[in-house]
């Protein structure tokens, strides 16, 4: 399987979407791009169409101590080698476009992130809960909140 050339990917994304992705180098041995939230669908489109990278391995949601007030989403793609896309959402209103129309396989990953971190994925149907019990009312269980929130 041909691995993706990061420079070519960067160029292509710039040309197609007009956004300026940053190369994110903290992930060991893996290509990662930090992209603006609104360009997610376009970048995934580029990845799929121009680079044949169809496999999304998962979506990680996390809060980083160095980035207070942000929730981070990492889309782990794989094409012979890992390619990750990093998004930073504001913690008070985490919203991002759903990609299940592009990649139906992202469905469960999005639902998990939505339930565990309270992220809203826009543009998809309201679905019943996947993991949390129906009677759960204490908010997203994995989300770290300020002590004053209880």
Site membership for another protein, residue 133 (CB under 8 A): yes
Contacts of 93 (CB under 8 A, 6+ apart): 120
Sign of CA dihedral 84, 106, 62, 124: positive
Q: Which is nearer to another protein, 73 or 97 (CB)?
A: 73
Site membership for another protein, residue 82 (CB under 8 A): yes
Site membership for another protein, residue 117 (CB under 8 A): no
Site membership for another protein, residue 130 (CB under 8 A): yes
Judged by CB under 8 A, which stretch of 6-14, 20-28, 88-96, 117-125 contacts another protein? 20-28
| CA 107 – CA 105 distance, rounded (Å) | 5
Site membership for another protein, residue 58 (CB under 8 A): yes
What are residue 134's DSSP bridge partners?
Answer: none
Q: Retrieve residue 90's tokens.
A: 């504001």
| CA 105 – CA 12 distance, rounded (Å) | 24
What are residue 78's DSSP bridge partners?
Answer: 55, 82
Judged by CB under 8 A, which stretch of 12-20, 27-35, 36-44, 87-95 contacts another protein? 27-35
Residues lying near another protein in the complex (CB under 8 A): 1, 26-30, 54-58, 60, 62, 64-65, 74, 76, 78, 80-82, 84, 103-109, 112, 128-133, 141-142
């Amino acid at each position: 399987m041909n691995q993706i050339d990061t420079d070519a990917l960067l160029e292509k994304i710039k040309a197609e979407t007009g956004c300026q992705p940053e190369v994110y180098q903290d992930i060991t041995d893996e290509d990662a791009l930090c992209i603006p939230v609104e360009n997610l669908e376009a970048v995934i489109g580029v990845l799929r169409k121009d680079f044949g990278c169809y496999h999304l391995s998962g979506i990680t949601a996390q809060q980083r101590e160095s980035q207070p007030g942000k929730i981070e989403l990492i889309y782990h793609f794989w094409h012979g080698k890992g390619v990750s896309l990093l998004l930073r959402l504001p913690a008070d209103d985490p919203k991002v476009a759903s990609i299940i129309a592009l990649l139906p396989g992202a469905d469960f990953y999005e639902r998990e992130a939505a339930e565990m971190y309270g992220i809203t994925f826009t543009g998809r149907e309201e679905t019943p809960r996947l993991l949390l019990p129906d009677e759960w009312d204490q908010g997203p269980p994995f989300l770290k909140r300020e002590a004053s929130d209880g």
